[in-house]
Structure 1
Amino acid sequence: MSLLALQRDMRDWLMREDGAAADRIGATAAPGLAVYQNNYRTQLVACLESSFQRTRAWIGEDMFLHAAVHHIDNVPPSSWTLDAYGRDFPATLARLHAADPEIAEIAGIELALEELFVAADSPAVGLDGLGGVDWDRAVLTFAPSIDLLHLNTNSFAIWSALAAQKEPPAPQYLDRPDVALLWRQGEQCRIRTIDDAELQALLKLRCGMTFGALCRDVALLLGEEAGMTLVGRWLGSWLSDHMVVAIDDRVQAAARCSSHLQL
């Protein structure tokens, strides 16, 4: 047997407990194969437990272990790092617990926060460099790692209570979905829910709308004074939370996009 064939048989045994592969490796190897497979599965369970601690606390040890074993049986590792193994676990939970959608949503929050933690750094705009900004023409660039999650249940409230080691509320569907905004501030991952007005503002700005145009849109809806107050509060929050990585005028932003396209 070649080394490549032996490696493939070992993989097939670990992932699928393939009896034919075990036979080809040899009958005397059976005790050792069992040990290797147990270590393989134990390591993957530990990986999921580490990444989804709040989910585990919510559904309990037995139910979590059942879901982890099901996931391991059906979704073998496909990356060079175990950090990536949990990416499909919320989908597994959604299939196993379709009647309890808050479970997959809590896992989705945990996954998003974990991926945010290892995202590439994006130096934020400092508050001391805003004096010369033409806010009417300004185009804001947000950190690419910023994420938005749409939640149909009160999973954010449940996750927050679990994170604070408090009694979580009973699960329930929401009349209107929550939108959770996730970002990284230095080495800290942050999350908060936002209302539809801030969501639409973020989506418009990320699509290239100038800050001045956003101000005019909000002023038309709320009146000039209330609109400027609200937009100013948003801007202050985005800057102090280190979400904004560049502020250009319209011409500079177009040149930035053009240079990225050429690359």
Structure 2
Amino acid sequence: MKNRFFYNVVTGAEKAPTEGFKAAGSLSVEGGFAVYQRGYIARLTETLGDTYESVWRVLGDDLFFEACEEFITRSPSQSYNLSDYSVKFIDFMISHEATADFPFLPDLAHLGWLHKEVFHGMGDIGLGGEELMSALSERAEDVKLTPNFAILKSAYRLFDIWKVLKEEGPLPENWQEPQNLALYKMDNQVYVREISAGETEFFENLQAGMNILEACEKLSPQEITALFEFLGSARCLIWAKMT
């Protein structure tokens, strides 16, 4: 009960008590709790900055820190693992005033979150080209996407925006055009690849549990060849028989 009360005061859910507590040194009780509150906000702001660095670049320091404090006040952390805290920031950005000028901000936040999730995922290493062909010929229904794989559909040229923000360049002229992305992990790095509408549907079908051969029925032979070259080199697929 005491730990929960302390947590509620630090997160702002309750006011600091005037009796029953003693602060260290010359600090008042209110001052002592204020120190913890500032530290709490600072730690969570650092977590948000790590995950949503591209949003930070768009907003600038002052507006990003203000947004973080507002979000943290509205959404106190319920987990001791701070890396699990920030997913709600995506929805928070939908209603943020800056989204009126930069409508891609929620999607940019989503890209940052998926990048973190894919990087920290613990999935198996996928099948290489020859292994993949062997698995497909033996038991195609057991070939699945690795857990370290994600897709993101956006109404904006999100990957292009993300790249120019890293280089501190201007927005691309065609930033308002749609773009679909695949994120995958290989050699302890996260890679982002633009995917076509047909490839997006293929990956969505796989994620929904469809047989891999059925999932690519709508693709042309040329698209299938290019897709499986990518899947073999990126090792995005595993044989469920292996797990």
Instruction: Decide: shared fold, TM above 0.5.
Output: yes
Structure 1 or 2: larger helix share? 1
Report the Cα distance in structure 2 between the residues aligned to 1:184 and 1:243, rounded to whole angstroms. 8
Instruction: Tell whether 2:8 aligns with 1:12.
Output: yes
SS at match of 1:101: coil
CA positional deviation for 1:122? 1.4
Conservation of the 8 A alpha-carbon contact between 1:71 and 1:92? yes
* Aligned counterpart, 1:221: none
Conservation of the 8 A alpha-carbon contact between 2:158 and 2:179? no
Pick the structure with greater CA Rg: 1
CA positional deviation for 1:133? 5.1
* Aligned counterpart, 1:242: 235
| RMSD, matched Cα | 2.6
Amino acid at match of 1:104: P
Amino acid at match of 1:152: A
CA positional deviation for 1:229? 2.5
Q: What percentage of residue pairs aligned between the two structures are identical?
A: 20
Matches within 5 A, 1:16-31: 16=12, 18-19=14-15, 21-26=16-21, 28-31=28-31
Correspondent of 2:223 among 204, 207, 230: 230
Report the Cα distance in structure 2 between the residues aligned to 1:62 and 1:95, rounded to whole angstroms. 18
* Aligned counterpart, 2:67: 67
Q: Please list the CA deviations of residues 31-70 of structure 1 after superposition, one character each: whole Å capped at 9, or x if unmatched.
A: 2222111111111112212221111111111110111011
CA positional deviation for 1:214? 5.5
Where in structure 1 are there 5+ consecutive unaligned residues?
Answer: 219-226, 247-252
SS at match of 1:181: strand
* Aligned counterpart, 1:198: 199
Report the Cα distance in structure 1 between the residues aligned to 2:151 and 2:20, rounded to whole angstroms. 48
CA positional deviation for 1:129? 2.9
CA positional deviation for 1:169? 2.8
Amino acid at match of 1:143: T
Matches within 5 A, 1:110-125: 110-125=112-127
C-alpha distance 168-23 of structure 1, shift in aligned 2 (>3 A): same
C-alpha distance 244-130 of structure 1, shift in aligned 2 (>3 A): closer
Instruction: Tell whether 2:58 aligns with 1:58.
Output: yes
Instruction: Tell whether 2:136 aligns with 1:143.
Output: no
C-alpha distance 130-121 of structure 1, shift in aligned 2 (>3 A): closer
Amino acid at match of 1:179: N
C-alpha distance 43-136 of structure 1, shift in aligned 2 (>3 A): closer
Matches within 5 A, 1:67-216: 67-97=67-97, 98-99=99-100, 100-129=102-131, 132=134, 135=137, 138-139=140-141, 140-169=143-172, 173-174=176-177, 177-206=178-207, 207-211=209-213, 213=214
Conservation of the 8 A alpha-carbon contact between 1:183 and 1:189? yes
Instruction: Tell whether 2:38 aligns with 1:43.
Output: no
Report the Cα distance in structure 1 between the residues aligned to 2:133 and 2:173, rounded to whole angstroms. 49
Q: Please list the CA deviations of residues 234-262 of structure 1 after superposition, one character each: whole Å capped at 9, or x if unmatched.
A: 1010110110112xxxxxx7xx6xxx9xx
Where in structure 2 are there 5+ consecutive unaligned residues?
Answer: 23-27
SS at match of 2:80: coil
Report the TM-score when normalising by structure 2: 0.84
C-alpha distance 24-112 of structure 1, shift in aligned 2 (>3 A): farther
Report the TM-score when normalising by structure 1: 0.78
Report the Cα distance in structure 1 between the residues aligned to 2:123 and 2:138, rounded to whole angstroms. 28
